[in-house]
Amino acid sequence: MRIILIGYGVVGQSLTSMFLRRRQETVKDYGLNPKVVAIVDKGGAAINVKGLDLEKMLLLKKQKGTVAVDKEFGNLEISPLEVITSTEAEVVVEVTSTNVKNGEPGLSHIKTAFKTGKHVVTTNKGPLALAFPALTELAEYNKVFLRFSGTVGGGTPVLELAKKCLAGDRITAIRGILNGTTNYILTEMAEKHIAFDEALSSAQKLGYAETDPSMDIDGIDPACKVVIMANWIMNKKLTLKDMDVKGIRDVTLEALEKAAKRGNTIKLLGSIDGKARVAPTEVSRHDPLCVSGVLNAVTFVSEFAGEETIIGRGAGGPETASAVLRDLLDISHNLADKMLT
Ligand SMILES: NC(=O)c1ccc[n+]([C@@H]2O[C@H](COP(=O)([O-])OP(=O)(O)OC[C@H]3O[C@@H](n4cnc5c(N)ncnc54)[C@H](OP(=O)(O)O)[C@@H]3O)[C@@H](O)[C@H]2O)c1
């Protein structure tokens, strides 16, 4: 499987490290032999149709900041779209930064990959949150696969639990803690009896929250994940603009303490139950959803199987790269099945 890797930050580098560590197993146990033929970052690209030396790429990125300075295979001028169009490959792995204003540059990368007959694996929530129905249609039209397991729950197989393990059942509602940063802040407030600002600065010191934390604390990141689940699992044609979104800026210590007296706490829940929304919600401390710290948890309510809750780490480079690897395996199995029929 020839792969074009667009974006070489935390997730992209974790993925190539994982390829290096797991190559023997992926070939022997799964019949997947990934060959990275191009890597793109903001500095340009490195391209080798025979497969790039990934150890060298990781070292170059660390030491020089871009893979485009590689003496043999680097190109400082080429754009990501030119790389996608002109390089032969089966799959584009799109792991550039999330942008919820217009989905770029990821949206154009994904559309160009489809138009040139390439499957896409992405962890980038922006394009999916803004244009999920259009992107799945375009993938179908071009007869290619779009996979995005890492967009919800990092490495935790949230989407697969619903889509594969509960296949045949009907999921009637979903509710979940979909953002580790806000869960950490609310947990700190409740357990240490501190105000929102103090908990936020603790999250920033530990690297859980960005300097501009609005994607998390205003609920936009979990809203993107709700959109993805609503479309993929419940077949609802939603985009971000259809969501009711409220973050945690107004959650007070007093409100948390009142909830505690009732045996509850307040969590930022994303839910699809008729309406799709994100809002601070009182939850029983005995509810399996009530996880602490940076953990994520999602409960699926299904017609026959009842309620299942999946809990795990919602982010992290190696964790999210493991979701990308699962998606690559899924595509490779689907392609093998197609060849048999
Ligand atoms: N990290 C996680 O735990 C996690 C979990 C789930 C989902 N995600 C999502 O996965 C994606 C990647 O995350 P990350 O943590 O790896 O981000 P990151 O460390 O910020 O890396 C982003 C990469 O994209 C490249 N890039 C950005 N704009 C570009 C452009 N216009 N042209 C070419 N390259 C461009 C950057 O290039 P430079 O290296 O040159 O700056 C960088 O290599 C994001 O959408 C994120 O929301 C991340």
**C-alpha to C-alpha distance for 38 and 47, rounded to whole angstroms:** 4
Please indicate whether residue 115 is annotated as part of the active site.
no
| pLDDT over threshold 90, residue 340 | no
Ligand 1 centroid to 171 CA: how many Å?
32
212: confidence class by pLDDT, cuts 50, 70, 90:
confident
Residues 6+ apart with CB under 8 A from 268: 177, 179, 182, 183, 186, 219, 222, 247, 248, 278, 279, 280, 281
Which residue has its alpha carbon closest to ligand 1 atom 47?
98
Instruction: Render 234-288 in DSSP notation, one character per residue.
Output: H-----GGG-EE--STT--HHHHHHHHHTTEEEEEEEEEESEEEEEEEEEETTST
**C-alpha to C-alpha distance for 157 and 243, rounded to whole angstroms:** 24
Rounded to 10 deg, the angle between the 196-205 and 180-192 helix axes is 130
Q: What is the pLDDT of residue 337?
A: 85
| pLDDT over threshold 90, residue 88 | yes
Which one of 61, 111, 118, 225 is the catalytic residue? 225
Q: Indicate the pTM of the whole model.
A: 0.97
Minimum-distance ligand 1 atom for the alpha carbon of 323: 6
| pLDDT over threshold 90, residue 291 | yes
pLDDT in tens, 118-165: 999 999 999 999 999 999 999 999 999 999 999 999 999 999 999 999
42, 112, 327: residue to mutate for ligand 1 pocket, most atoms within 8 A of CB: 42
211: confidence class by pLDDT, cuts 50, 70, 90:
confident
Q: What is the pLDDT of residue 136?
A: 97
| pLDDT over threshold 80, residue 341 | no
75: confidence class by pLDDT, cuts 50, 70, 90:
very high
Residues 6+ apart with CB under 8 A from 330: 145, 147
308: confidence class by pLDDT, cuts 50, 70, 90:
very high
| pLDDT over threshold 80, residue 218 | yes
For residues 73 and 47, the answer to whether their CB atoms sit within 8 Å is: yes
| pLDDT over threshold 80, residue 339 | no
Which residue has its alpha carbon closest to ligand 1 atom 30?
42
Rounded to 10 deg, the angle between the 220-234 and 125-141 helix axes is 20
**Residue 137 carries which side chain, given as an amino acid letter?**
E
**C-alpha to C-alpha distance for 120 and 293, rounded to whole angstroms:** 32
